[in-house]
Amino acid sequence: MLVVAIGAPEGVHAAVHRADPTLDSVVATIRRLPVDDVVLATRDEEARKVARAARLVLGSERLALLHLDVHVTAWAVVLAGLTTPALPAASALAVADDVLAHVSTRAIVSTVTSLEKPAPTFRQHAGSLLPSSAFVVDPGRGTVGRFLGHLGIPDGEIIVIARSARPVVPEAHDLLPHPADVELGGPQGLRAAEWPAPRWLEVSSLASPLTSTITNVASGFFHWPACEVCGRAAPESCLFCDVAARPARTGPRGGIAGSTPTTEPLEAVN
């Protein structure tokens, strides 16, 4: 499938087409692509509105909208999975769900005074007033703890990191089970404030190989129901038409023929 990630930072998989969160940028990017189904991937409301506007301008026949409310490093792992050759665009949500089920995310932040989810304790709020304070946030478990020199990110096939321009810890790479496969934004860090703190580090790790995820999804293609409007097979609702799929599949659009898809490694954009 062709993937356009709206607002994605530098460093996402090289096969992902990046576009600024403006209508002109998204439309221009789509028009440069081959005539095929395209997944517009977003993770914030601004980009989501732009994606919907682009579909109104260009038509919904070949544009699928995939919105995921996830952290940027986890999003980068999902985008890598979506670039697997021979995957149909209609399977994008199934791929994302399976990948995210095996992703662990942790963050180190310099303060929790503005953190809302997960909610810190009053004592942690008070501790944020100390200039040398740092906290570990586990969004999956919904926990916040004092940083004591350990990040606790599990080892995995892929490790993606992102950080603020000012480092929150001196040697972030020493906290990882193995060197990061991708650093979003490069060594200068990200300009975007991914966390409500002036200094932060975010890490996501994929526990299982992408090949396992793609194999699981591919095995279900021909059992998915079909969209009432376009006939594409979809596990739940159609990303192209925004309608629920009917119980019995009709039409050839959702499946794939040929060999089992193979994955490519997550790469940084040079």
Instruction: Give per-residue pLDDT as tens, 73-89.
Output: 999 999 999 998 878 89
- Whole-number average pLDDT of the chain: 86
Please give the radius of gyration of the chain, using alpha carbons only, rounded to the nearest integer: 20
CATH 3.40.1000 fits 103-206, yes or no: no
List CB contacts of 148: < 8 A, sequence separation 6 or more.
Answer: none
Domain ranges of the chain: 2-101+209-246, 103-206
- pTM over cut 0.75: yes
Residues 95, 159: Cα–Cα separation, whole Å: 18
**Of 101, 88, 102, whose CA–CA distance to 239 is shortest?**
88
Instruction: Give per-residue pLDDT as tens, 169-181.
Output: 888 889 999 999 9
Return phi, psi of residue 43, to 5°: -145, 10
Q: With contact defined as beta carbons under 8 Å apart, do 42 and 65 qualify? A: yes
% of the chain beyond a pLDDT of 90: 59
Averages of pLDDT over each 10 residues, the chain, 270 residues: 96 96 97 94 97 91 95 97 88 93 96 89 81 90 93 93 92 91 91 92 93 81 82 84 63 41 42
